[in-house]
Amino acid sequence: MTSQTLLTLLRRALASLLYLGYVPGAPGTYGSAVVVGALWFLRSRIDGFFAPAPPLGYWLAGLALIAVSIFLSNDAENTFGSRDPKQIIIDECAGQWLVFLMIPLTIRTLVLGFFLFRFLDVVKPFPVHRLEELEDGVGTTMDDVAAGVMANVALHALLWIYHGIKAWL
């Protein structure tokens, strides 16, 4: 096995989240679930550190994930010869990660954020579907990033409404 072949296998493994993207069914949903599970695991192990997620560290991790996603998605599109191959789920991970910026990580917010993101990622409202048209891995990643940002805004609004009603009662 050549070093080039090994590098290709490594990039494919990372882009598909250790080949989870190859599991039949809904690979994007599986990738999103891994992010939610990882955040719950981190939050429950490092009490207080991720609740709510610290903005700078969380932003930096999100930006790194976006950059890696663009690179790997571009590489995967060239390898598969198609736009946004469904096996590549790192873009869903980047989008799902952004949902929880400045959100308290409770089981309720994680579940609600998961479903909000999956809904927006599947339905692709404006401008999400327009970003998908961008070239190469940028379009593949940025539609999920936009869905993640929209889900974050919606989750913030829902929490604001919930706490407002709770305080009023």
Instruction: Supply the pTM of this predicted model.
Output: 0.89
What would the pLDDT profile of 95-133 be if each residue is shown by its tens digit? 999 999 989 889 999 999 999 999 999 999 998 889 988
What would the pLDDT profile of 146-158 be if each residue is shown by its tens digit? 999 999 999 999 9
What are the DSSP calls for 37-63, one per residue?
A: HHHHHHHHHSTTTTTTPPHHHHHHHHH
